[in-house]
Amino acid sequence: MEILHVSAECYPVAKVGGLADVVGSLPKYQNKIGHHAQVVMPMYRTIFLQENQWDVVHKGAISFGGSNLEFTVIKERSDALGFNLYCIDIYGLLDREKIYGYDDDNQRFLAFQIAVVEWISKWQQKLDVVHVHDYHAGLIPFFMRHYYDYKNLSKIRTLLTIHNAQYQGWMDWSFTKFFPSWDNWKAGLIEWNSQINPLAAAIKCADKVNTVSPTYMKELMYNANGLEPLFEYEKGKCSGIINGIDYEVWNPETDPLISDNFNIDSIKAKQKNKFNLCKDFGFDVELPLIIFIGRLVGEKAADLLAEAISRAFEETDKKFNFLMLGSGEVFIEQQLKNINERWFGYYHSRFEYNERLSHQMYAGADFLLMPSRVEPCGLNQLYSLRYGTIPIVRRTGGLNDTVVDVGDNGYGICFNNATIDDIVYSVHRAIHLYQNKPMVENVRKKMMTINNSWEKSAQDYIELYQSIYR
């Protein structure tokens, strides 16, 4: 099949969260199983852009708010990512360092989507599926069906993948001034709650809709930031597919970012990674090491961490170490900074994005904490399983689908509520489990045999595309 993925993020070009990891891996694995998948994204001014060579493959223009807006499509020359990567440049809108966070983000991503549709309408390549990711590409299925100039695209099938339904790209109706000529009678397809809602438009207009785990799809029926009735109405075309991880990037046996490589047969070498990690942060290597890696936001329950960690230290008489890596809300970062001095020698926090350190943490830690309020799929727990680090997770979204509690003959510690009490209780369980060395080793070996690679998920997506044609 000929597949075009449209996304605001793609690792390693530009990344904020898990969306980038998915779009940077799924097309590669689809190509490995015999299909032709490609990616188009905005041309941000990133290091990847500067360090690679590009060819201009298209120049065009779109009508945008009464102006003629020129755009350029460039292609990465070497296919270094395992798939064709295209970037769209629009002067003054997409040529910025950051992906999000600008006052005109709605205009930026609207212009990007219109340029994508304009480009593929002129492309000689025949596409079977346009696969759009999240609201940043959510209007494309509507544009392909109901823009007068793009009727030649109406037969191409479309799939929407929702990575996080909390973000929907709301716009007021004044933004229709940026639309090219379209069928005004179809306005209801882009409307939700008296606004233009790109995510709602994609749910209505795409041929199929999926989320990144079956449990998350069920949760959207009652927790979708206002879209619950729409998910209920459209449930017949909705499904869930668990994300995979790139086993070439996330492989403890070959990972160049960790100090000591290991595999399931040499799992004791994991302890060398822990020794180096503890040495760097002044921790006692004999104590269990619990880590948190991720965005410091309410969705991740990061606002509970400072108090939960402090209570756990008090109740256990400091019988564990805790290492934090992430960034996010200023007040959450401040809470976590405030406990640095109090728990010096047992707790440390780094407020940054650090790929090398994150790999070393997965390789060296004993436990990974994920107390998320919302977790559509989660990738961190999959990385931790791959590296023999036992996940401590709340039963929600993809965490529920991928982690089984040790009490049920599984390989993780699971709890039900995103509360301080549940987090502290789970830390107690982790410390107790850690004291049973033979059980910990068995659990680690069990988790490292699980196949969470993209191979199965990539085939699941192909079958979902094919189901649209049946």
Q: How many CB atoms lie within 10 A of CB 195?
A: 15
* Average confidence score pLDDT of the chain: 95
- Domain assignment present for 78: yes
What pLDDT digit, counting tens, does each position of 88-145 carry?
999 999 999 999 999 999 999 999 999 999 999 999 889 999 999 999 999 999 999 9
Amino acid 248: pLDDT:
87
What pLDDT digit, counting tens, does each position of 138-195 carry?
999 999 999 888 989 999 999 999 999 999 999 999 999 998 888 888 999 999 999 9
Q: Are residues 182 and 209 in the same domain?
A: yes
- Domain assignment present for 362: yes
Q: Are residues 442 and 461 in the same domain?
A: no
Is residue 224 scored above 90 in pLDDT? yes
Question: Does this model's pTM top 0.85?
Answer: yes
363: nearest Cα among 345, 393, 385? 385
| Partner residues linked to 322 by β-bridges | 290, 347
Amino acid 147: pLDDT:
87
Instruction: Answer positive or negative: Cα dihedral of 131, 137, 143, 145.
Output: positive
Q: How many CB atoms lie within 10 A of CB 239?
A: 15
What DSSP designation does 453 have? B
Q: Are residues 308 and 419 in the same domain?
A: yes
Q: Are residues 71 and 173 in the same domain?
A: yes
Confidence of residue 469 (pLDDT cuts 50, 70, 90): confident
* Residue range(s) defining the domain that contains residue 125: 2-244+455-469
Q: Are residues 117 and 196 in the same domain?
A: yes
Mean pLDDT over 232-253 rounds to 94
Share of the chain above pLDDT 90, in %: 93
Residue 390 tokens, joined: 């036992």
Residue 53 tokens, joined: 């060579």
- Domain assignment present for 111: yes
Q: Are residues 156 and 207 in the same domain?
A: yes
Confidence of residue 16 (pLDDT cuts 50, 70, 90): confident
What pLDDT digit, counting tens, does each position of 76-89 carry?
999 999 999 999 99
Specify the number of domains making up the chain. Answer: 2
Amino acid 273: pLDDT:
97
Give the whole-angstrom CA distance, residue 190 versus residue 88.
Answer: 24
- Domain assignment present for 132: yes
- Domain assignment present for 430: yes
